[in-house]
Amino acid sequence: MNTLNNAQVAVVTGASRGIGAAVAQRLAKDGFAVAINYASSAGEADALVAGLTAAGAQAIAVKADVSNADDVRRMFEITEQQLGKVDVLVNNAGVLKTVPLADTSDALYSQTFDINVRGTFNTLREAAARMNDGGRIVNFSSTTLALNMPGYAIYNATKAAVEAFTHVFAKELRGRNITVNAVAPGPIATSLFLDGKTDEQIQNFAKMPPLQRLGQPEDIASVVAFLAGADSGWVNGQILRANGGLA
Ligand code: NAP
């Protein structure tokens, strides 16, 4: 139980826009006090907080680059001070740039691993010491890991690492009653997916799942809400693909 309020507290990384923003909105609707993390999109994070607060929810925006361990420590400290001890951690922050492996620069390799892998590592390590027992951790993988499409080598490697963290960390938290799972979305209509693609490429992706459409951020937010909520209590160490049946 948190001392500052009666609501359970959720931290959502990369929640200024895209899937993270939809997750933050959904968790706030479900009654969580939500810390909305962002790296650079302060205006969007502040607008999201204003909207949630106006609707009666508790929400704060917290600037932190998840790839920086000091930032992540501060993010947990600020959340604890302003909302209470953390019950739910959603490791949503991530980046994608598709480039053939042979053409990938050292800088892109480092940036992708720093945000997707080190970022998740930083928050998991901090969460181990700080989260309430009985909590929930939801990491973010991707269905691209199952598709092995050209251009996705570095990104998929980062998501394979996230899946490995998920399986092992679930076991390392034995005795704490904290579950650790990951959601692996298929194509979702956010800037991460849409930017740099032609209309034809986007339509081709939309036709791939048997449900014949792109996913929307809310499709993933509802899966995260399940994994973050009471009904998923017996689901632990699992990767849940949410992709309309694509793979
Ligand atoms: P998005 O629209 O590009 O949003 C990314 C979010 O991450 C933004 O809020 C961004 O905030 C934040 N972010 C980026 N770098 C950060 C950092 N270093 N520290 C903290 N926050 C950071 O992406 P999305 O599509 O919502 O993707 C969310 C997650 O879903 C990612 O892990 C992605 O790999 C995964 N995913 C997406 C898809 C898809 O099709 N969209 C499919 C499978 C998996 P700032 O703007 O402030 O930097």
Q: Compute, in angstroms, the gap from residue 45 CA to the centroid of ligand 1.
A: 13
Query: Could you give the CA distance from residue 116 to residue 5 in angstroms, rounded to a whole number?
Result: 32
In a domain, 92, yes or no: yes
In a domain, 246, yes or no: no
Q: Tell me the best of 63, 192, 204 to mutate to test the pocket of ligand 1, counting ligand atoms within 8 Å of each CB and taking the most.
A: 192
In a domain, 39, yes or no: yes
Tokens standing for residue 142: 């991707």
Q: Are strands 88-91 and 136-140 parallel, antiparallel or unpaired?
A: parallel
In a domain, 141, yes or no: yes
pTM of the full structure: 0.98
Query: Could you give the CA distance from residue 126 to residue 72 in angstroms, rounded to a whole number?
Result: 8
Task: Give residue 247's Cα distance to chain centre.
Answer: 20
Supply the residues annotated as catalytic. 155
In a domain, 2, yes or no: no
Domain that holds residue 203: 9-240
- Our count of domains for the chain comes to 1
Q: Compute, in angstroms, the gap from residue 95 CA to the centroid of ligand 1.
A: 5
Mean pLDDT by 10 residues, the chain (247 residues): 77 99 98 98 98 98 99 98 98 98 98 99 97 98 98 98 99 98 98 97 98 98 98 98 98
- Long-range Cβ contact pairs of 191-198 (< 8 A, separation 24 or more): 191/17, 191/18, 192/18, 192/94, 192/95, 192/96, 193/96, 196/97, 196/98
Nearest CA to ligand 1 atom 17: 65
In a domain, 1, yes or no: no
Query: Could you give the CA distance from residue 94 to residue 157 in angstroms, rounded to a whole number?
Result: 13
Residue 6: predicted pLDDT: 85
In a domain, 65, yes or no: yes
Summarize pLDDT for 84-133 with one digit per residue, the tens. Answer: 999 999 999 999 999 999 999 999 999 999 999 999 999 999 999 999 99
At 91, which CATH number? 3.40.50.720
